[in-house]
């Protein structure tokens, strides 16, 4: 195999050059990056071959290879009978996993954007919307049984957050004054959604359908926000059931004889209400 992309041993281990799409590691990180790059370009490869190519000691190479395996960036397999030389135990070959390949970057987002742009140019914006709806519908379909079993909107929002987390969205819920907020702290398609907001719109429609209520998208990662946040309103009875009974409203006209504190209350706003819980947010 032609190996035009591998730098000379000294440069690989000591130069500060980094591979395209990767950061600029230093010291141990730079050497480990060179080891990983060799696995990318020549793998499957033995530790001895890595050491020879990079001009490193076998001990140093083993340390970096073991670290890559521990971190899930590489794995091993035994060499085939054809590859063995002489007798003895088969040599251990090292290869990168998908996680390890991600160290060098992917062009998946660019490909997805190009594909959606082609769909838009060929069949129009409505075709992009239909694609977006089918995509999120397929994602939600795996979790409809659990969502249907939830008794309240708050419970359904929590189940939906768990479902989204399992699909790679790192989602959670939090209670606010008027309902629940569904927060997605990661979005696998954020870069694509920045060019095609139809993906976010389809998500919002799907959330409304499975939660059984109108929802409001407050923020999106694709728009530069820290998280995708969707407000899920709850009915008054649901909020009361979730947070306990509200404080009784006492009219300001209560008699001082029957309620000595009535006069003091009448000097404020005429009623006594429970404070907004800490951390509550109005929408």
Predicted confidence (pLDDT) per residue in 101-125, tens digit: 888 877 888 999 999 999 999 999 9
3-state secondary structure of 2: coil
Strand order in the sheet with 74-78: 45-46, 92-96, 74-78
Predicted confidence (pLDDT) per residue in 167-210, tens digit: 999 999 999 988 999 999 999 999 999 999 999 999 999 999 99
Nearest to 102 by CA among 22, 48, 39, 179: 22
Give me the phi and psi of 220, to 5 degrees please.
-140, 145
pTM of the predicted model as reported, rounded to 2 decimal places: 0.58
User: Is 90 exceeded by the pLDDT of residue 89?
Assistant: no
**Residue with the two structure tokens 């690989």:** 12
Q: What is the largest CA-CA distance in the chain?
A: 106
Report residue 95 as tokens.
């290869």
User: Is 90 exceeded by the pLDDT of residue 76?
Assistant: yes
Residue 27's pLDDT is: 62
Considering the chain, what is the average pLDDT of its residues?
78
Instruction: Please name the helix (run of DSSP H) or strand (run of DSSP E) that holds residue 205, with its range, or none.
Output: helix 198-211
């Amino acid at each position: 195999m032609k190996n035009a992309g591998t730098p000379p041993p000294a440069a690989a281990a000591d130069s500060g050059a980094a591979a395209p799409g990767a950061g600029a590691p230093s010291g141990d990180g730079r050497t480990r990056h060179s080891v990983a790059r060799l696995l990318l370009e020549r793998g499957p490869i033995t530790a001895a071959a890595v050491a020879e190519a990079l001009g490193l000691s076998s001990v140093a190479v083993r340390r970096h290879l073991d670290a890559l395996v521990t971190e899930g960036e590489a794995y091993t397999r035994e060499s085939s009978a054809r590859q063995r030389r002489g007798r003895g135990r088969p040599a251990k070959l090292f290869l990168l996993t998908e996680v390890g390949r991600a160290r060098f970057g992917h062009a998946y987002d660019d490909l997805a954007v190009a594909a959606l742009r082609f769909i838009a140019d060929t069949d129009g914006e409505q075709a992009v919307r239909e694609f977006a709806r089918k995509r999120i519908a397929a994602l939600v379909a795996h979790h409809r049984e659990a969502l249907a079993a939830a008794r309240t909107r708050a419970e359904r929002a929590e189940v939906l957050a768990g479902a989204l987390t399992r699909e790679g969205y790192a989602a959670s819920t939090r209670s606010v004054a008027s309902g629940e907020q569904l927060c997605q702290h990661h979005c696998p398609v954020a870069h694509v959604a920045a060019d095609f907001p139809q993906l976010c719109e389809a998500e919002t429609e799907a959330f409304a359908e499975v939660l059984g209520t109108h929802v409001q998208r407050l923020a999106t990662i694709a728009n530069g926000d820290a998280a995708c946040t969707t407000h899920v309103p709850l009915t008054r009875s649901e909020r009361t059931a979730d947070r306990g009974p509200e404080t009784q409203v006492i009219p300001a006209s209560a008699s001082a004889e029957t309620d000595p504190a009535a006069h003091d209350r009448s000097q404020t706003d005429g009623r006594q209400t429970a404070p907004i819980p800490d951390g509550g947010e109005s929408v």
